[in-house]
Amino acid sequence: MKITWLGHAAFRIETAKAKILIDPFFTGNPSFDATKRKEATDGLTHILLTHGHGDHVGDTVAIARETGATVLANADLAAWLGAKGVKQLEAGNTGGTIHFDGFSTTFVNALHSSAQVTEDGVSHSLGSANGLVLHFEDEPTLYHMGDTDIFSDMALVHELHEPEIGLVPIGDRFTMGGAVAALACQRYFKFGTVIPCHYGSFPIIDQTADTFVTAMDSAGGKVEVPKVGEVVTR
């Protein structure tokens, strides 16, 4: 498995059978190199969305149109994307699992909101915010927490899914900060690999992973802090 952090909460996951983007926020993402867009979408098979905020839905509509990739999202967000012209949609909701060739995705809880604000200033709810657990046939199980705070039912996510790789938001203000994220990893999971995200993009969130790395110390699995565009192989 190849995991590429594309800035903010966006990742590309490559396996033998699938090339997946999670939360493909490219346009307007100050940490994403726009010249790498084609590379990021090359051979894409799936787009998975944790929730409906613009910095997570990102370029989904355009990328889906360009590549024909199947988009997975919660039911309300999927309906909204369908109205915007996305053709290949798989809708689900918290607790549900959707099966694809070579992997499945389960929607789990996240403590966050999910909406889009239209030009007239009206906020439209786009269903629940979720984390996504990806089970692969011959690869380690991966958990993208989405945007969330710590919550005690993370223990159930571990009990049910035993994820080996955690993609963990650490930037504070809109998600848990580094110290709390480290507590979540250490108390509720037994990750083999932890990759922090949702930091270093906008000035009002943490700019480095230092707090998280320090709080993790040597416990809770190996912390990988890739540069944007760098590949982690597992």
48: three-class secondary structure by DSSP = strand
1-94+127-136 and 140-225: same fold? yes
pLDDT score at 68: 98
- Give the whole-number percent of the chain exceeding pLDDT 70: 98
Residue 123 has a pLDDT of 87
Architecture of domain 1-94+127-136: 4-Layer Sandwich (3.60)
For residue 10, name the pLDDT band (cuts at 50, 70, 90): very high
Find where tokens 């149109």 sit: 65
**What confidence score (pLDDT) does residue 201 get?**
97
What was the pLDDT predicted at 119?
A: 72
Residue 124 CB coordination number (10 Å):
11
Return the half-sphere exposure (C-beta side, CA atoms, 13 A cut-off) of residue 72.
26
* 92 half-sphere exposure, CB direction, 13 A CA radius: 22
**pLDDT of 219 over the 90 cut:** no
Write phi, then psi, for 69 (nearest 5 degrees): -65, 145
Query: What is the pLDDT, as a whole number, of residue 177?
Result: 98
Alpha-carbon distance 177 to 202, whole Å? 14
| Cross-sheet strand order for the sheet of 89-92 | 89-92, 70-74, 46-48, 19-22, 11-14, 2-5, 231-233
pLDDT in tens, 101-128: 999 999 999 999 999 887 777 888 999 9
Q: Which amino acid is at 229?
A: G
Domains in the chain: boundaries: 1-94+127-136, 140-225
User: Which residues does 37 contact at the CB level (< 8 Å), separation at least 6?
Assistant: 26
pLDDT digits (tens, 9 = 90+) for 52-95: 999 999 999 999 999 999 999 999 999 999 999 999 999 999 99
Could you tell me which of 171, 117, 116, 115 has the C-alpha nearest to residue 148? Answer: 171
- Please report the pLDDT score of residue 135 as a whole number: 98
- According to CATH, the superfamily of the domain at 140-225 is Ribonuclease Z/Hydroxyacylglutathione hydrolase-like (3.60.15.10)
pLDDT reading at 180 higher than 70: yes
Map tokens 């499945």 to a residue. Answer: 104
Q: pLDDT grade, residue 189 (50/70/90)?
A: very high
According to the model, what pLDDT value does residue 132 have? Answer: 99
Residue given tokens 């915007």 in the structure block: 84
Region 48-54 average pLDDT = 98
Locate all alpha helices (DSSP H) within the chain, ordered by sequence.
37-41, 54-57, 60-67, 75-83, 154-161, 178-188, 210-216
Asked if residue 37 has pLDDT above 70, the reply is yes
* pLDDT higher than 70, residue 220: no
Tens digits of per-residue pLDDT, 142-156? 999 999 999 999 999
Q: Yes or no: say if 1 and 224 are a contact pair by the CB < 8 Å rule.
A: no
Which value, in Å, is the radius of gyration of the alpha carbons in the chain?
16
Res. 221: pLDDT tops 80: no
Model confidence, pTM: 0.97
3-state secondary structure of 140: coil
Whole-angstrom Cα distance, residue 113 to residue 53?
8
Rounded CA separation 109/130 (Å) = 5
**Rounded to a whole number, what is the largest CA-CA distance in the chain?**
49
